[in-house]
Amino acid sequence: MFNRLLFHLLRGNRVRLVVALLALISGGAVVSALLNLDLDINHKLTQEFRSLGANVVISAPQTSSTMPGVPPLMDESVVQDIEQNIDRQSPVSGTGASPDLYLVARVGSKNGPNVVVTGTWLDRVSQMEPWWKIAGTANVSRTDLSRCLIGRNVGRSLSLSTGGNIALSYQGRSVSLTVAGVADAGGSEDNQIFVNLPVAQKLAGLEGKIELIQLSIPGSAAQIRSAADKLQAGFPALEVKPIPQITEAEGKLLQRIRFLIFSMGFLILVLTALCVLATMAALAMERRRDVGLMKALGGSIQKVVRLFLAEVGVLGTVGGILGYALGMALSVWMGHRVFGTSISPRWEVLPATVILMLCVALAGALPLRLLGNVRPAVILRGE
């Protein structure tokens, strides 16, 4: 009998119940999309910030420099030791390392302009500097000592393009290179020339030496700091510093996005509850006669309220399930629009959405408590 009465209640006021159901579905869709986005936001933000390149810099301490005006140097062999240390202590795929050596060389003859030359591993450029736009060959083999990459401004000032030749000299040593590509980095790199590390070492007379090591370590800001602390403990003679502009910005942005997500979710839940509240208040006024008749036939107010609460529970459950389905589609769309990639639907969001919609529906059903004050005699007299 209870199920039959519940079925007739759901059929009897379909228009108002559909309004409440639509409110619950809409609220469930937005809330489930925000919850799914929050569960995946850390990974997506990490991917976005890793596209900014290196986030940890390793250098020799300033006191290790033996000559005035010469920056402290390290042995090139330390790069391999650092990579092995990272793989052993924090086996996260995608870690990249790039040793660098800088010098200011002269282009062409004695009267040629000076230009900053960066010695590095050119085959790591795409991994370490993924935002660069390179016209020509992006990745030059590490063993290719005859080609280089030049910055956009260098190419313009020297009228050089892909395939052109450039001669560099430094303290009586010189080298001739072919331009493999022109890089548009949008920063100071546009004024530099990038060569493979052995070329810069030979030109500077510093074979086997490097000035610093740039690391791109995947993971959250906390994981990056943890990896940096482990490297510092493993190499106490070196200075290991996370780049604060990247790691701190990631943490702050994550906090702000999560605050925005939870604020919007709370606002949506309140608005949904108010919509359900208004609908249930109207239903309570319309059902006064039905409640009066039930009480006149011997039905207790507890059974009557339980019947109406079951009706609200059905609405909340259906609204939560349908809202979850729409919310997953909404989160996938948001992932493509914001991060340029899809966000994976998570099943753990389903029970959370259903429970939230049940709570919202029950909170909106508070006007049904007024039905307990209905007097059967007044209803039967038609008052």
Q: Look at residue 4 in the predicted model and tell me its pLDDT.
A: 57
Are 227 and 90 within 8 A, CB to CB? Answer: yes
Q: Look at residue 291 in the predicted model and tell me its pLDDT.
A: 60
Phi first, then psi, for residue 73 (nearest 5°) are: -120, 160
Q: Return d(Cα 383, Cα 370) in angstroms, integer.
A: 17
pLDDT at 134 over 70: yes
Q: How much is the average pLDDT of 53-75?
A: 72
**Can you read off the two tokens belonging to residue 190?**
């546009």
Residue 99: band (very low, low, confident or very high) from pLDDT cuts 50, 70, 90: very high
Are 61 and 240 within 8 A, CB to CB? Answer: no
Q: Look at residue 182 in the predicted model and tell me its pLDDT.
A: 93
* N- to C-terminal Cα separation, the chain: 29
Q: Look at residue 6 in the predicted model and tell me its pLDDT.
A: 53
Percent of the chain with pLDDT over 90: 17
| Number of neighbouring beta carbons within 10 Å of residue 45 | 18
Q: Look at residue 112 in the predicted model and tell me its pLDDT.
A: 81
Element containing residue 95 per DSSP (H, E): none
Q: What is the DSSP string of 343-360?
A: PPP-TTHHHHHHHHHHHH
Q: How much is the average pLDDT of 179-204?
A: 91
| Number of neighbouring beta carbons within 10 Å of residue 350 | 21
Average pLDDT, the chain: 78
154 burial via Cβ count (<10 Å: 0-12, 13-18, 19+): buried
Residue 115: band (very low, low, confident or very high) from pLDDT cuts 50, 70, 90: very high
Q: Look at residue 279 in the predicted model and tell me its pLDDT.
A: 77
Residue 180: band (very low, low, confident or very high) from pLDDT cuts 50, 70, 90: very high
148 burial via Cβ count (<10 Å: 0-12, 13-18, 19+): buried
pLDDT at 82 over 80: yes
pLDDT at 309 over 70: yes
User: What is the per-residue pLDDT across 257-281, written as a single tens digit (0 to 9) for each?
Assistant: 778 888 888 888 888 888 887 777 7
User: What is the per-residue pLDDT across 153-162, written as a single tens digit (0 to 9) for each?
Assistant: 999 998 888 9
Q: Look at residue 374 in the predicted model and tell me its pLDDT.
A: 54
Q: Look at residue 233 in the predicted model and tell me its pLDDT.
A: 87
Phi first, then psi, for residue 331 (nearest 5°) are: -70, -35
Dihedral (Cα; 141, 147, 148, 149), 10-degree rounding? -80
Q: Look at residue 83 in the predicted model and tell me its pLDDT.
A: 81
Name the 3-class secondary structure at 43.
helix
- Specify the range with the lowest mean pLDDT, choosing from 100-104, 301-305, 335-339: 301-305
Q: Return d(Cα 318, Cα 312) in angstroms, integer.
A: 10
Q: Look at residue 138 in the predicted model and tell me its pLDDT.
A: 76
User: What is the per-residue pLDDT across 331-349, written as a single tens digit (0 to 9) for each?
Assistant: 888 777 766 666 778 888 8
Q: Is the whole-model pTM more than 0.75?
A: no
- Specify the range with the lowest mean pLDDT, choosing from 124-133, 230-239, 363-372: 363-372
Q: Look at residue 368 in the predicted model and tell me its pLDDT.
A: 60
355 or 291, higher pLDDT: 355
Q: Look at residue 248 in the predicted model and tell me its pLDDT.
A: 59
Q: Look at residue 333 in the predicted model and tell me its pLDDT.
A: 83
Q: Return d(Cα 382, Cα 379) in angstroms, integer.
A: 5
pLDDT at 196 over 60: yes
